[in-house]
Amino acid sequence: MKKENVVQTKSYEFALLCIKLYKKLIKEQQEYVLSKQILKSGTSIGANIEEAIGGQSTRDFLSKMAISYKETRETHYWLRLLRDSNYITDQESINLINKCEELLKIIGSIQKTTKLKIRNS
């Protein structure tokens, strides 16, 4: 049986939440600009993780994980902006921001471990 890849699973679940938020913002708030940003960056995290997993080398893996990290930071920004501009409530933002911060920690840790692996090889 294949072992679960935590970052892969969490980024996929987070992407689904971003899609749900996008649909809500479009339908209930008629918000089309920020919602598109959250959709793009929030789904890009997992897409880049998938690319990293299929990478051709350790350096390729690290490069794709760095992109995922940047996309996660960008998503974190858009979530705060949506909250602070009252498109989403504090309560709505808490879960998403927490999940985003969790991804930042996981991806950051993966990057650190991979850099050490490269240095020691």
Among 29, 37, 111, 31, which residue's Cα sits nearest to residue 68? Answer: 111
Give pTM, 2 decimals: 0.94
pLDDT at 2: 67
| CA geometry: angle 14, 19, 25, nearest 5 deg | 125
Angle at 13 between CA 50 and CA 98, to 5 degrees: 110
Q: Please, which pLDDT band fits residue 121 given cuts at 50, 70 and 90?
A: confident
First to last CA, the chain: 29
* Inside any domain, residue 1: no
26 within domain boundaries: yes
Using pLDDT thresholds of 50, 70 and 90, give the confidence band for residue 52. Answer: very high
| 53 assigned to some structural domain | yes
* CATH number of 85's domain: 1.20.1440.60
Whether 111 shows a pLDDT value over 90: the answer reads: yes
- Per-residue pLDDT, 73: 99
Mention every residue, 6+ apart, whose C-beta is less than 8 A from residue 69.
104, 107, 108, 111
Which amino acid is located at 11 in the chain? Answer: S
Q: How many domains is the chain partitioned into structurally?
A: 1
pLDDT score of 4? 82
Which residues span the domain enclosing 22?
Answer: 6-119
Evaluate whether residue 100 is within a structural domain: yes
